[in-house]
Amino acid sequence: MDYESQPYHVTAALVEWLLVIGAAALIALFVGGVVALFLAGRRAPALVFAALKRGFSDLTSLSVRRIGALARLTIQESLSRRTLLVLFVFVSLFAAGNLFLQSPGQDMPAKPFVSFVMTSIRWVLIPVALLLSCWGLPADIKSRSLHTVVTKPVHRSEIVIGRMLGYSLLTSFILFVVALLGLIWIQRVVPERSKPQLTARVPVYCDLEDFFFLDRNGQTGKGLNVGDMWEHRGFIEGQTKSRAVWIFEGVDESYLNDEGELRMEYSFEAFRSHKGRIDEGVRFRLHLVNEEKGLDVPYPQRGAGLEVQEFSGERAARKDQEKPIIDIPRELSRTVGLDEDGSKVDLFDDLVEDGKLRIELSCEDDGQYIGAANTDLFIRLADKPFAVGYFKAIFGLWLMVVLVCIIGTTASCFLKGPVATLLTFGLVILGHPMRSYMENQLQQLDEKGRVLGGGMLEACYRLVTQMNVQSPLPENDATRVIQYLDTHIFNGLKIAEFIIPNFKHFDMTVFVANGFDVPWMDAGAAIVPAILTVLGYLIPCVILGYFSLQLRELEAK
C-alpha cells in the first residue's frame, strides 16, 4: 500500500484555518467597504456596519423549522427532477462491473472489486451533487419562486443552510442505498479464495519521524534506491549492518492477541542483485532492540530467517502460501546480550521502554536487498469486520459529497448554474486529482527555488518554442518579464493552496481496498480531518452564501 502514516495536528490545522478565515474576512471587508464607498459615498461606513450587524443577527438567530422546511423543499424539488434515476446508473454499473473487471477468475484479489465500487460511487455521485446543488438556487431565482420565499420572514442564511442540508440529505440517501448495493455486490463477486482479503485490519504504525535507516556501517543514513522511480521504499543490503528501524509508541499489553503474541504484519519488497537461490525467497530477520539495556533480540531466533512474502494483496493467496505475518511471543530467549546463561527476556518488561518498542529489520542474504517504508511494518490488532472499514470509507465519501453540496450551493448563491458548476467542478478536480501535482510544484519551488519547466508563462513559452524543460531560458528582457510574472503567479497559487479544499482527506479507498480499517487520525485520509475539513468549509461557505444572497437583488433580468 503506497501510503505514509503522518500525524494530523488538530491545533495547527485550527490555527491555520483561523488565519485563513481571518485574512479572507479582512479582504472581504475591505473590498465591501470600497464598493460601498463607491456606491454610497459618505453613508458607506454606516451601510457596511448595518449590513454586518444584520448579518450577525441573521446568522445567529436561525429557525430549525424554517431550515427544515427549506431542506425538505430542496429534496422534493430534486426528486421532481428524477434524481433517483441515478440509482439505476449504479445498478447497471455494478451489473456491468463484471465486464470491466474481465474474467474475475479465482486468482483475482479483492482489491480491484472494492476500488471499482468506491471509484464508481465517487465519480457518479460527485456530478449528481454538483449539478443538483449548482442549479437549484439559480433555477429558483430565475423562476422567481424564490420571491415568494424571501417575502416571508426567512433569513437568507436559512435559505443557504436549508439548501445545503437538503442536498446533503438527498445525496446521503442515495449514497446509503448505493453503498449497500455495493457491499452486496462485493460480497457476491469477490472470488471465494479472495474473501479473506475482505477484512478491516487495524494497524498500529510508527510515526514517519520514528522510522529511519541504518547504513551498512550501522550509522543513521538513508535507505538505498535500487532503481525504482518511486522513492517510497528504502532498501537495506543483506549481511551488513544496514537496517530499517521502526519505533512504535504506546505499546502495552493490550496489543497482544488472544494467544498472548504480538502480531506484526509486513509488506517488504525484495530486490536481488544476483540470482541466488531462485526457488527460495530473500530472507530477513526482525530485531527487538532495547538500546538502554543493550538488548538485541532477533526474531526468528533460529534458522536462516523468514522469506519475504511480497505483494500479498495483489492476488488471491495460494493454499499453501505463507502470509506476511509474524507473531512474536511475549517471552523470548536472549541469544544476544549481556547474560551468558541465555535466560529469557520479556517483551514488555525488558524490551519495551516507556511504551516504545524498537524493531529493526535486517536482510539475511548476502548481496540481496530488502525494501521497506514506514507503513511496511505494523502491529496488527484484532481485525474488524470488512463492513466497518467499508462504511467508514463510505462515511468519508459522504463527507466529500456533502462538501461538494456545500461549495456548489455557495457558488450558486452568486453565480448562474453553468458557471457555478464549472467553479465547483474545478475545485473538485484541483482538490483531488490535481492536488498532489500542485503540492509537488510548490514543494519544488520551496526546496529548489524554481520548478522544473518553470511557471505558467514559462511553460507556455517552452511549449510554443518547443524547448525542453531542462534547457535554460535565453537571457533577455522578455524571459525576465516572464519569470517575474511567474513568481507572482506562483505566489497566487500558494495562497490558493490554502483555499482549495484538500479532498485527499476523504479518499479512504486505499484502506478498504487493501483490507484495512480507516484511521481516525492521520494527515492523509482519515475520519477526523475529513469532518474538520467539512466544518472548516461549512462555516465560511454559509457566511459567503448568506452575504451573496443578501446583498444582491433577486431579479434574474
Taking CB under 8 A as the criterion, which residues in 291-330 touch another protein? 307-311, 313-315, 318-321
The residue behind cell 491555520 is: 16
What is the smallest separation between the CB atom of 139 and another protein, expressed in angstroms?
11
- List the x/- string, 385-424, binding to another protein by CB under 8 A: ----------------------------------------
Q: Which stretch binds another protein (CB under 8 A): 287-295, 397-405, 519-527, 548-556?
A: 548-556
SS3 call for 333:
strand
User: Between residue 145 and residue 174, which ones bind another protein under the rule CB under 8 A?
Assistant: 145-155
**With respect to another protein, which residue has the nearer C-beta, 53 or 480?**
53
Binder of another protein out of 55, 109, 417, 431 (CB under 8 A): 109
Bin 99: left if φ > 0, else alpha if -120 < ψ < 50, else beta.
alpha
Rg (CA), the chain: 29
First to last CA, the chain: 54
H helix or E strand, kind and range, residue 315: none
Task: Return the number of the residue (350 or 507) whose C-beta is nearest another protein.
Answer: 507
* Helix-, strand-, coil-residue percentages of the chain, each rounded to 5: 55, 15, 30
| Residue placing its CB nearer to another protein in the complex, 145 or 257 | 145
Kindly state the smallest distance separating residue 549's Cβ from another protein, in Å.
Answer: 12
Q: Cα dihedral sign for 369, 373, 377, 380?
A: negative
Q: Decide if residue 273 touches another protein (CB under 8 A).
A: no
Residues 175-194 that bind another protein (CB under 8 A): 193
Strands 269-272 and 261-266 come out as unpaired
507 binds another protein (CB under 8 A): no
Q: Nearer to another protein by C-beta: 324 or 536?
A: 324
Give me the least distance between CB of 290 and another protein, in Å please.
Answer: 31
Stretch that binds another protein, among 227-235, 236-244, 518-526, 535-543 (CB under 8 A): 227-235
Determine if 58 is a binding residue for another protein (CB under 8 A): yes
Please report whether residue 108 would count as binding another protein according to CB under 8 A. yes
Distance CA 511, CA 467 (A): 42
| Selected binder of another protein within 42, 82, 227, 229 (CB under 8 A) | 229
363 binds another protein (CB under 8 A): no
Closest CA to 306 of 292, 325, 293: 325
Q: Is 72 in the site for another protein (CB under 8 A)?
A: yes
User: Does residue 24 interact with another protein by CB under 8 A?
Assistant: no
E runs forming strands in 222-376: 234-237, 243-248, 261-266, 269-272, 283-290, 295-299, 306-307, 325-329, 331-333, 344-346, 357-363, 368-372
CB nearer to another protein: pick between 232 and 435:
232
Segment contacting another protein by CB under 8 A, of 103-111, 202-210, 384-392, 535-543: 103-111
- Give the 3-state secondary structure of residue 341: coil
Q: Which of 12, 82, 85, 99 binds another protein (CB under 8 A)?
A: 99
Task: Report DSSP letters for 432-490, one per residue.
Answer: TTTHHHHHHHHHHHHHHSS-TT-SHHHHHHHHHHT--SSSPPP-SHHHHHHHHHHHHHH
Q: Which is nearer to another protein, 2 or 209 (CB)?
A: 2
Query: Is residue 269 a contact point for another protein (CB under 8 A)?
Result: yes
The answer to whether 197 and 321 have CB atoms below 8 angstroms apart is: no
Least distance from another protein to the Cβ atom of residue 95, Å: 11
Are 123 and 397 in contact by the 8 Å Cβ rule? The answer is no
CB-nearer residue toward another protein: 240 or 309: 309
Helix (H) or strand (E) holding 27: helix 10-40
Cβ contacts of residue 290 below 8 Å, gap of 6+?
Answer: 350, 351, 352, 353, 358
State which residue, 255 or 268, has the beta carbon closest to another protein.
268
Q: Which three cell numbers stand for residue 368?
A: 540481496
Q: Residue 160 or residue 308: which is nearer to another protein going by CB?
A: 308
